[in-house]
């Protein structure tokens, strides 16, 4: 009886231990899968396409006040262009815009509520003039972007960048 009892206990212990081992193995596999999925998610989200970045930037700039930069691009002649819009409910006098080394326009004009105007760089984008420049991506940091204007009362103000501006050569 002693031997049979010992074997029964040993078999039950073996079943318990093998069941515990399987559960531990499944938990380890699940943790590894979760970690891999997190790593893959971080890697793919950090490599957003240029068009995704530009769409997000344009969305941010389009909601900015009093002047919004609603669109920008490099035209076929390699000049950088922006579209500015007066988002206020009153007329504003536009004094200047500076976007990095690409646009430094000091033309003075009035924009009524909701009015838009296209501004073009004074010179061609030199980075876009090199051979095979189609894939060149240029980002102007938000600290290098400013818009000068005057309100109806004549007070001059400077609106600084809220987001970088990224563009591609054509």
The residue among 168, 163, 167 whose CA lies nearest residue 62 is 163
Q: Average pLDDT, whole number, for the chain? A: 81
Query: What local confidence, expressed as pLDDT, does residue 84 receive?
Result: 92
Amino acid 83: pLDDT: 92
Task: Give the pLDDT of residue 6.
Answer: 54
Tell whether domain 50-168 is in CATH 2.60.120.
Answer: no
SS3 content of the chain, % helix, strand, coil (to 5): 40, 35, 25
Most confident range (mean pLDDT) of 80-94, 121-135, 142-156 is 80-94
Number of Cβ atoms within 10 Å of the Cβ of 124:
15
Q: pLDDT at position 1, please?
A: 53
Question: What confidence score (pLDDT) does residue 127 get?
Answer: 75
CA distances for 39 relative to 44, 137, 143, angstroms: 9, 26, 32
pLDDT tens profile 14-50:
665 566 777 888 899 999 999 988 887 776 665 667 7
Instruction: Find which of 52-61, 112-121, 139-148 is predicted with most confidence, using mean pLDDT.
Output: 112-121
């Amino acid at each position: 009886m002693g031997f049979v009892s010992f074997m029964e206990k040993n078999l039950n212990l073996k079943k318990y231990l093998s069941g515990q081992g399987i559960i531990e193995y499944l938990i380890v596999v699940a943790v590894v899968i979760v970690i891999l999925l997190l790593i893959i998610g971080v890697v793919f989200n950090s490599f957003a396409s240029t068009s995704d970045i530009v769409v997000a930037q344009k969305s941010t700039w389009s909601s900015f006040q009093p002047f919004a930069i609603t669109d920008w691009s490099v035209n076929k002649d390699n000049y950088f262009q922006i579209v500015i819009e007066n988002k206020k409910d009153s007329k504003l006098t536009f004094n200047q815009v500076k976007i990095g080394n690409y646009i430094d326009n000091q033309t003075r004009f009035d924009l009524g509520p909701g009015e838009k105007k296209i501004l073009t760089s004074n010179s061609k984008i030199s980075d876009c003039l090199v051979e095979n420049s189609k894939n060149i991506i240029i980002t102007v940091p938000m600290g290098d972007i400013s818009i000068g204007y005057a309100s109806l009362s004549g007070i001059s103000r400077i609106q600084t960048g809220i987001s970088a501006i990224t563009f591609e050569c054509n």
